[in-house]
Amino acid sequence: MSLKSNLWMLSALMCLGAGSPASAQQQVYKCWSRGSVVYTERPCSKRVLNADEAPVPVKPNPKEVDIGRIEQNRALARSMRPMAGESTEQFEKRRRRARLLATDRDECARIDTRMPVEEASMKNPDKAEVLKAEAALAASRKRFGQLGC
């Protein structure tokens, strides 16, 4: 073979060698440092997690959940029966309010006691007091309606 063909063969072998991937590949870790991404050769955290000591969440027993729900439904059903000596209007009001949150029920009770006082204040001879009472009564009625009392 000639020198020219040897050079050609040598350059071809070098090109083939340069195109092959490196046999020893390094592992690269993507880490966050001060709000930017950093690539390192080592793991980001030095903390080692041991999954053997991790707490395992316990699923609730479906029978216990159902018993609680049944008791809650029974208590609600008892509250939905008319009480002795209760008028239809009182029963309907109690039934409506049973569906409300406890905080809303309390607010409805406060409005119930406040509205008669505001209505009585409207009979005051002082016009300024009457205007205040009208505004307060209108606000109370609006909130009463919003809550569904």
Domain ranges for the chain, please list them. Answer: 63-99, 101-149
**Is the model's pLDDT at 140 over the cut of 70?**
yes
Check residue 22 and give its pLDDT: 53
Give the tens place of pLDDT for each residue, 56-78: 777 777 666 677 778 878 877 77
Give the pTM: 0.44
Task: Give the separation between CA 12 and CA 56, rounded to whole angstroms.
Answer: 60
CA distances in angstroms from 148 to 22, 79, 96, 142, listed in the order given? 75, 18, 8, 10
Query: Are 105 and 148 contacting, i.e. CB atoms less than 8 angstroms apart?
Result: no
**Is the model's pLDDT at 138 over the cut of 80?**
yes
Task: Give the separation between CA 105 and CA 137, rounded to whole angstroms.
Answer: 19
